[in-house]
């Protein structure tokens, strides 16, 4: 059993070290960095240490500590990096929201609510780790999740739009909910279950044509349905982000399930076709594309939000203006605390800080994909790649949109941005990934000793 102590990869049929202590050490950093950032903002804004710093430190520390203990008990072999990264991003998000709360022009304070949602998110995370003993249980709910996902995706149509996008459902007395955030997890469960069953049919029953495997008409059906559905979201809810996420997720999972490049080609062709078709008659989309191509354009003699975001990034430069010392409040309008929070990050912690945060996202995504590689069952593989893929697409679409790489779409930066649905959904997403990675890295039951195996072993000098 000597190999189990020297094996450092997460992939291993034999036991990997649990790495719980690594996680703990990382978590300490993940709590300390936001606490220091919090003090920094207070010093910059008022010249004094903010009054809430003790409560905040204890709160964040407690959340992280409990989460760690629960992971230690219920998912001891889980990936050691995901929890600290999520904690750090969520903690920094809280700081940035609190920092923007200090600007009276941006409306009422949002940080206390966000802290409450974060606590709920972590509670949800803990509940999943405790009650979901094995992710394969989710497989049973393939078709139920399909129905739930459809309901969640379609529901916002019946509620009034906010700022041009119908992505909200309003529950009187409770506030509003962004069902798309939850739909991305549930739909990944559905795809994983569905594709696991159908993958052979989709992969093998096809004709070869010009180097590509053309799927049969009846297998093409589901992809066309999904494509149509994502277009409908785009048209009726004018939600570019969700439809892109939804469709991208499906193509990625289909590709992984079938190992056929042809699906990607179809996916790209369909999404390009859909995008062009919608863009020709949907003014909302046209505006977004126009703003993307002319970021600094003046509108009625005034500076647009897109331009304000660009100015924020540019003014931040390499090292940033310092926490609390930027002017990203100039981005009035829709969402300085949610969609545009990256602009504040870019301005106040600069290129260096922004790159660090993007790398944290990158690391989280790659840990998710690594979980997919390590998972031993196809359902786990598909589910974890689906969740990581959705996360990656969301990060790309939001960060790319805010920085002007691609047209802006209405989505929130996971963990960082203000928004209850988002933070809860993303904690749930991380919980499921942790559960899968725990199963994947859990040492296999020790094989029965076999004398034959011993005899065939090569002994090197």
Partner 1 sequence: MNKPLRRVAIFCGLLVLALLVRVNWVQFVEGDQLKNDPHNRRVAIERYSTPRGNIIVDGKAITGSTTTDSGDFKYKRTYKNGKMWAPVTGYASQAFDANQLEKLNDGILSGTDDRLFFSRTVDMFTGGKQKGGNVVTTLDARAQKAAYDGLGKQKGAVAAINPETGAILALASTPSYDPSSFAGMSNKDAEAYSALQKKNDADEPMLNRALRQTYPPGSTFKVVTASAALENGLYHDVNSKTDSPLPYTLPDTSGLPLKNEGNIPCKDASLREALRWSCNTVFGKISADLGNKKMKAEAEKFGFNDPGINTPVRASESIYPTDNRPQNAMAGIGQASNRATPLQMAMVASAVANGGKLMKPYMVDQLVAPNLNVVQKHTPQEMSQPLSAENAQKVQSIMETVVKQGTGTSAQIPGVTVGGKTGTAQHGENNKDNPYAWFISYAKTDKGTPVAVAVVIEGSDTLRDDIAGGKLAAPIAKRVMQAVLEGEK
Residue 28 vs residues 33, 239, 416: alpha-carbon distances, Å: 9, 38, 19
- One DSSP character per residue, 264-283 reads HHHHHHHHHHHHHHHHHH-H
Distance CA 142, CA 144 (A): 6
| CA 39 and chain centroid, separation | 28
State the nearest-atom distance from the C-beta of 4 to partner 1, in Å: 22
Site for partner 1 contains 396 (CB under 8 A): yes
Distance CA 243, CA 178 (A): 14
Site for partner 1 contains 314 (CB under 8 A): yes
State the nearest-atom distance from the C-beta of 251 to partner 1, in Å: 10
Nearer to partner 1 (CB atom), residue 282 or residue 377: 377
Q: 45, 378, 442, 443: which one contacts partner 1 (CB under 8 A)?
A: 378
Residue 176 belongs to what H/E stretch?
strand 175-177
Nearer to partner 1 (CB atom), residue 279 or residue 351: 351
- The number of residues in the chain equals 461
Nearer to partner 1 (CB atom), residue 222 or residue 378: 378
Residues 255-294 binding partner 1 (CB under 8 A) are: 255-257, 259
State the nearest-atom distance from the C-beta of 403 to partner 1, in Å: 5
Site for partner 1 contains 408 (CB under 8 A): no
Nearer to partner 1 (CB atom), residue 205 or residue 264: 264
Which stretches within 403-457 are classed as H helix?
420-441, 451-456
Binding segment (CB under 8 A) for partner 1, from list 24-32, 208-216, 302-310, 411-419? 302-310
State the nearest-atom distance from the C-beta of 255 to partner 1, in Å: 5
Residue 209 belongs to what H/E stretch?
strand 206-209
Nearer to partner 1 (CB atom), residue 166 or residue 370: 370
Residue 425 vs residues 22, 186, 341, 392: alpha-carbon distances, Å: 26, 10, 18, 15
Task: Work out the angle between the directed axes of helices 20-46 and 53-74 (0-180°, nearest 10).
Answer: 170
State the nearest-atom distance from the C-beta of 433 to partner 1, in Å: 14
Number of residues that bind partner 1 (CB under 8 A): 49
Q: 167, 310, 323, 432: which one contacts partner 1 (CB under 8 A)?
A: 310
One character per residue 82-121, x = contact with partner 1 (rule: CB under 8 A): ----------------------------------------
- Residue 213 has phi, psi (to 5 degrees) of -90, 110
Residue 130 vs residues 72, 124, 319, 376, 393: alpha-carbon distances, Å: 11, 10, 42, 21, 28
Residue 160 vs residues 1, 165, 174, 235: alpha-carbon distances, Å: 62, 9, 16, 15
State the nearest-atom distance from the C-beta of 159 to partner 1, in Å: 31
Residues 344-373 binding partner 1 (CB under 8 A) are: 346, 350-351, 354-355, 358-359, 361-362, 365-366, 369-370, 372-373
Nearer to partner 1 (CB atom), residue 179 or residue 346: 346
Nearer to partner 1 (CB atom), residue 114 or residue 328: 328
| CA 113 and chain centroid, separation | 20
Contact between 91 and 30 under an 8 Å Cβ cutoff? The reply is yes
Q: 330, 424, 429, 431: which one contacts partner 1 (CB under 8 A)?
A: 330
- The residue ranges that bind partner 1 (CB under 8 A) are 252, 255-257, 259, 296, 298, 303, 307, 310-311, 313-318, 327, 330, 346, 350-351, 354-355, 358-359, 361-362, 365-366, 369-370, 372-373, 378, 381-382, 385, 388-389, 392-393, 395-396, 399-400, 403-405
């Amino acid at each position: 059993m000597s190999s189990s102590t020297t094996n450092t990869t997460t992939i291993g049929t034999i036991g990997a070290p649990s790495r719980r202590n690594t996680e703990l050490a990382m978590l300490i950093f993940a709590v300390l960095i936001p606490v220091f950032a919090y003090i920094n903002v207070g010093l910059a804004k008022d010249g004094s240490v903010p009054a809430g710093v003790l409560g905040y430190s204890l709160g964040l520390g407690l959340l992280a500590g409990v989460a760690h203990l629960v992971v230690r008990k219920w998912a001891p072999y889980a990936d050691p990096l995901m929890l600290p990264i999520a904690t750090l991003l969520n903690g920094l998000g809280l700081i940035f929201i609190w920092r923007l709360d200090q600007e009276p022009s941006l409306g009422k304070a949002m940080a206390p609510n966000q802290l409450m949602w974060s606590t709920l998110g972590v509670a949800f995370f803990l509940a999943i780790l405790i009650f979901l003993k094995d992710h394969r249980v989710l497989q049973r709910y393939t078709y139920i999740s399909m129905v739930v996902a459809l309901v969640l995706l379609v529901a916002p149509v019946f509620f009034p739009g906010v700022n041009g996008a119908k992505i909200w459902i309003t529950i009187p007395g409770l506030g509003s909910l962004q069902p798309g955030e939850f739909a991305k997890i549930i739909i990944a469960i559905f795809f994983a279950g569905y594709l696991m069953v159908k993958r052979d049919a989709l992969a093998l029953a096809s004709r070869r044509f010009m180097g590509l495997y053309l799927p049969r008409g009846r297998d093409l059906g589901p992809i066309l349905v999904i494509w149509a559905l994502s277009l409908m979201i785009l048209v009726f809810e004018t939600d570019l982000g969700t439809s892109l996420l939804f469709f991208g997720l499906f193509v990625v999972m289909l590709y992984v399930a079938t190992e056929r490049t042809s699906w990607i080609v179809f996916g790209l062709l369909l999404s390009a076709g859909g995008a062009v078709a919608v863009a020709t008659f949907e003014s909302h989309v046209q505006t977004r594309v126009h703003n993307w191509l002319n970021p600094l354009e003046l509108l009625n003699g005034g500076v647009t939000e897109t331009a304000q975001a660009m100015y924020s990034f540019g003014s931040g430069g390499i090292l940033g203006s310092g926490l609390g010392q930027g002017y990203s409040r100039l981005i009035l309008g829709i969402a300085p605390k949610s969609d545009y929070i990256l602009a504040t990050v870019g301005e106040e912690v600069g290129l260096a800080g922004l790159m660090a945060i993007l790398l944290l996202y990158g690391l989280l995504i790659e840990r998710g994909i690594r979980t997919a590689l390590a998972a031993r069952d196809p359902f786990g593989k598909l589910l974890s790649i689906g969740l990581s893929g959705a996360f990656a697409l969301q990060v790309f679409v939001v960060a790319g949109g805010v920085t002007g790489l691609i047209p802006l779409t209405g989505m929130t930066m996971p963990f960082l941005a203000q928004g209850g649905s988002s933070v809860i959904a993303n904690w749930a997403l991380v919980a499921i990934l942790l559960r899968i990675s725990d199963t994947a890295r859990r040492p296999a039951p020790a094989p029965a000793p076999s004398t034959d195996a011993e005899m065939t072993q090569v002994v090197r000098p």
